[in-house]
């Protein structure tokens, strides 16, 4: 058994033991880390592996969160058993929206792709803001709580962990699979992939939908720990979060973005607790980290590559 595998087992073990050592406040932070780790990894499937820089990934996080909230509040999936359907429901909703947005967006590449994802996201933001009857408008959806025993922070943490760990495992299989290898090739040279006999638009669209579905899951998981969903989750500024997390952690490594998410969330919590100018300090710290570590935090840990 090699060192990396041992470290991984230790990490998963630690994740299961974590709630025993934490207060409720920090358990909520841990849930946030889990959700954003999945969010950042899903984003990196697009950017790091596929070379598709999306400026609108928050759309799927937000749609997942709203879908989860609405399934409980409006569709009445309030029992513990019914709650099991909420996460798949949020994933499906986010996947459907990603399919619609992706259908148009993957026809362009580079900055035009980015602009299309940006534009569609602003459209959804407006809907969340104005469709007051459904989304609660400016006030968002509030009072979201997981049912029954899951309302206890530690229990909801385990619930989230049991969604996030298999998702991360699936995504890890995916990036090493023929699908993932083709995706990396696509980032390098789309035309060469096309002239190897691959329908590259379909490949990119499927990637976009998968990334959207897992972002949706992350959004729904986070919604029930934060207790509410606001239109701001869909705003374009929210789409910077996964970009910063992925770059901070390192886009060239699979778990890098998860590491970036953890550091980002912890920084935010510690700094925002001590100063109201926390975005300023966040900005300075992230700037320094990126300047010192161009390959991200994961680049420091991985000494195999120069």
The residues binding other proteins (CB under 8 A) are 173-174, 176-182, 184-185, 187-189, 191-200, 203, 206
* Cβ-contact 40, 280 below 8 angstroms: no
Q: Radius of gyration over alpha carbons of the chain, in Å?
A: 19
* Cβ-contact 94, 233 below 8 angstroms: no
**Cβ closest to other proteins, residue 145 vs residue 173:** 173
**Minimum gap (Å) between residue 98 Cβ and other proteins:** 16
* Cβ-contact 253, 245 below 8 angstroms: no
CA distance 301 to 219: 29
**Minimum gap (Å) between residue 63 Cβ and other proteins:** 23
CA distance 186 to 107: 14
* Helix ranges (DSSP H) in the chain: 3-21, 24-44, 58-73, 80-83, 86-105, 110-130, 132-135, 153-176, 178-188, 190-194, 200-226, 240-249, 256-274, 278-292, 296-301
**Cβ closest to other proteins, residue 69 vs residue 180:** 180
**Minimum gap (Å) between residue 245 Cβ and other proteins:** 22
- The torsion angle over the Cα atoms of residues 247, 250, 256 and 260, rounded to 10 degrees, is -40
**Minimum gap (Å) between residue 202 Cβ and other proteins:** 8
CA distance 269 to 161: 20
CA distance 206 to 32: 27
**Cβ closest to other proteins, residue 31 vs residue 193:** 193
**Minimum gap (Å) between residue 107 Cβ and other proteins:** 13
**Minimum gap (Å) between residue 198 Cβ and other proteins:** 5
């Amino acid at each position: 058994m090699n060192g990396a595998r041992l470290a991984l087992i230790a990490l998963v073990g630690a994740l299961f033991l974590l709630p025993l050592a934490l207060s409720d406040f920090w358990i909520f932070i841990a849930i946030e880390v889990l959700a954003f780790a999945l969010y950042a990894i899903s984003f990196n499937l697009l950017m790091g592996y596929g070379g598709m820089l999306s400026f609108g990934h928050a759309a799927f996080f937000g749609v997942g969160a709203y879908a989860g909230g609405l399934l409980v509040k409006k569709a009445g999936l309030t029992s513990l058993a019914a709650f099991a359907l909420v996460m798949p429901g949020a994933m499906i909703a986010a996947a459907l929206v990603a399919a619609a947005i992706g259908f148009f967006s993957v026809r362009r590449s580079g900055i035009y792709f980015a602009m299309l994802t940006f534009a569609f996201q602003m459209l959804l933001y407006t809907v969340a803001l104005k469709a007051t009857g459904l989304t609660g408008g400016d006030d968002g959806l509030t009072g979201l709580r997981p049912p029954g025993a899951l309302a206890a922070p530690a229990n909801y943490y385990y619930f989230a962990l049991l969604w996030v760990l298999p998702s991360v495992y699936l995504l890890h299989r995916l990036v090493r699979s023929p699908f993932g290898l083709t995706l990396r090739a696509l980032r390098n040279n789309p035309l060469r992939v096309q002239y190897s006999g691959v329908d590259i638009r379909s490949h990119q669209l499927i990637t976009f939908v998968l990334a959207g579905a897992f972002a949706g899951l992350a959004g729904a998981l986070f919604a029930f720990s934060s207790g509410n969903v606001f239109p701001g989750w869909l705003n374009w500024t929210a789409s910077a979060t996964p970009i910063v997390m992925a770059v901070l952690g390192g886009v060239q490594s699979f778990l890098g973005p998860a590491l970036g998410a953890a550091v980002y969330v912890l920084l935010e919590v510690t700094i925002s607790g001590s100063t109201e100018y926390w975005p300023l300090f966040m900005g300075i710290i992230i700037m320094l980290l990126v300047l010192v570590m161009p390959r991200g935090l994961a680049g420091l840990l991985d000494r195999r590559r120069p």
